């Protein structure tokens, strides 16, 4: 009888871990579409997995950031891993608000 109780507890813990992992995966997949940053201008992601990370790694210093800021304005978004949006701003009022 004791082994049945341990088996049930392990099954419940496993189910809880699976549900938590599924929730986090779904949240990461939906975040680019539900984020408040989704309407900000910014460069398109070059890859779903890497976002703009490969472009940033290939760029020298902050040259790419300055190019993007010149093209998209003082407040923009770019994508990191799994197309998760990141905010980039040089607007003093926006920085003070945050």
C-alpha pair distances (Å), 26 with each of 31, 32, 70, 77, 82 = 8, 11, 34, 22, 12
| pTM as predicted | 0.70
Distance, CA of 8 to CA of 5 (rounded, Å)? 5
The pLDDT tens digits for 17-62 are 999 999 999 988 888 888 889 899 999 988 888 999 999 899 888 8
User: How much is the average pLDDT of 76-94?
Assistant: 91
Q: Which residues contact 35 (CB under 8 A, 6 or more apart)?
A: 85
CB distance 42 to 68 below 8 Å: yes
Distance, CA of 78 to CA of 65 (rounded, Å)? 10
């Amino acid at each position: 009888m004791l082994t049945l109780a341990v088996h049930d507890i392990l099954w419940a813990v496993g189910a809880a871990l699976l549900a938590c992992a599924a929730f986090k995966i779904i949240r990461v997949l939906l975040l680019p579409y539900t984020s408040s940053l989704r309407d900000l201008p910014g460069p398109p992601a070059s890859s779903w997995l890497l976002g703009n990370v490969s472009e940033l790694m290939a760029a020298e210093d902050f040259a790419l950031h300055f190019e993007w800021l010149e093209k998209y304005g003082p407040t923009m978004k770019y994508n990191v891993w799994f197309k998760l949006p990141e905010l980039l701003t040089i607007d003093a009022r926006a920085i003070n608000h945050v």
